[in-house]
Amino acid sequence: MIIIMKPHTPKEEILIQKQKLEREGFEVNLSQGENYCILGLIGDTTKIDESKIGANEYVEKILKVQQPYKLANRLFHPDNTVINVKGEKIGGNKIAIMAGPCSVESEEQIVEIARRVKKSGARFLRGGAFKPRTSPYSFQGLKTHGLELLKLARKETGLPIVTEIMTADMIDKFVEDVDVIQVGARNMQNFELLKELGKTRKPILLKRGLSATIEELLMSAEYIMSEGNENVILCERGIRTFENYTRNTLDLSAIPAIKKLSHLPVIVDPSHAAGLWWMVEPLSKAAIAVGADGLIIEVHNDPANAKCDGQQSIKPDKFHRLMEDIDALAQLGSREIYETINF
């Protein structure tokens, strides 16, 4: 961090600042130019309260050299993090495919979809039991009954389950029942929820907020990690822009950016990004091409009658063909997905 003092700042003020920072444990390099005096801080500045320094009337400007997140930062952890969920790896050389309906609707629905996506090579079953809907009048999910049905589908197929948590009071139940806990876009900055999830050791799938910057997403990951849970998977799921042809705008550039800044695995959700079923295929391929560690895709056996997000859900046959293409693409990049089973 670099602190630029205003011209004509009294020498004693500069010394007071320097000593204060040294007392906080930083090494401070003073450099006096013709007009400006600059204090260069050496040490871990992630915990520094910038606003306190900025409140000093003699401070002209503060420049951050280091990112404000530490545990999620690749600088301090050069190797890619690989998260192991019951033997299934997320990160590293494997491409993790999660698939399933937007929401769990019935036993037949979730078990049938789970069987189909598994046959096509998906390694995780997604499905919402608690649904964050824009309208309170829309289907809100089957809630705890939905969790039971997900567990049933896991028992039938062996696929680990990924599902969204909405409130901290459900954490114990989710830790017990679920394999990957999803934090939805709307809760990305629910800091109390993030802190509580940080106290568990469950893998957390953290989705990027509707209008969150990459740095804000990484700071949210830091909330979870700073409580001791380092099993965080990031998810780019499209952001709000002026464009309204698609539901959101898939920020593909976020993938290489996050991979440069952080060691955490990052997956892409093409379904919520586009909001259109026919865009899921090209966006999935693009995501793999730019280096995503996996995909989370909405698949429904009867999209026209889905209780949620049918317009962006692909059918199992289409998912199967997509998986074959993804496999070919992955191999081009010397990566792999697990074998698809022909049927």
Residues that bind ligand PEP (CB under 6 A): 102, 128, 132, 184-186, 207, 237, 269, 272
Binding segment for Mn ion (CB under 5 A), chosen from 46-54, 102-110, 196-204, 256-264, is 102-110
Asked if residue 87 lies in contact with residue 181, where contact means CB atoms within 8 angstroms, the answer is: no
Answer with the entry of ligand PEP, Mn ion, none that 141 interacts with (C-beta below 5 to 8 A by kind): none
Residue 49 or 243 having the CB closest to ligand PEP: 243
Name the minimum Å distance from CB 59 to ligand PEP: 39
Answer with the entry of Mn ion, ligand PEP, none that 315 interacts with (C-beta below 5 to 8 A by kind): none
Contact between 164 and Mn ion by CB under 5 A: the answer reads no
Cβ-Cβ contacts under 8 Å for 310 (sequence gap 6 or more) = 102, 300, 303, 304
Contact between 105 and Mn ion by CB under 5 A: the answer reads no
Binding segment for Mn ion (CB under 5 A), chosen from 213-221, 230-238, 277-285, 308-316, is 308-316
Residue (of 305, 309, 339) closest to 297 by Cα position: 309
Residue 37 or 306 having the CB closest to ligand PEP: 306
Distance CA 301, CA 278 (A): 15
Residue 94 or 131 having the CB closest to ligand PEP: 131
Nearest residue to Mn ion, by Cβ distance, number only: 102
Asked if residue 92 lies in contact with residue 129, where contact means CB atoms within 8 angstroms, the answer is: no
Contact between 327 and Mn ion by CB under 5 A: the answer reads no
Answer with the entry of Mn ion, ligand PEP, none that 320 interacts with (C-beta below 5 to 8 A by kind): none
Residue 97 or 329 having the CB closest to ligand PEP: 97
Name the minimum Å distance from CB 54 to ligand PEP: 34
Distance CA 302, CA 141 (A): 17
Q: How do strand 124-126 and strand 204-207 relate by DSSP bridges?
A: unpaired
Contact between 269 and Mn ion by CB under 5 A: the answer reads no
Number of CB atoms found within 10 A of residue 338's CB: 15
Count the alpha carbons within 13 Å of 114 in the hemisphere toward its beta carbon.
27
Name the minimum Å distance from CB 184 to ligand PEP: 3
Q: How do strand 59-63 and strand 37-42 relate by DSSP bridges?
A: unpaired
Residue (of 322, 316, 320, 315) closest to 342 by Cα position: 320
Name the minimum Å distance from CB 117 to ligand PEP: 15
Choice from 21, 37, 95, 102 touching Mn ion (CB under 5 A): 102
Name the minimum Å distance from CB 320 to ligand PEP: 21
DSSP letter for each residue of 51-120: HHHHTSTTEEEEE--S-S-STTBGGG--SPP-EEETTEEEBTTB-EEEEE-SB---HHHHHHHHHHHHHT
Contact between 309 and Mn ion by CB under 5 A: the answer reads yes
- Which DSSP state fits 41? E
- Which DSSP state fits 71? T
Residues lying near Mn ion in the complex (CB under 5 A) are found at 102, 309
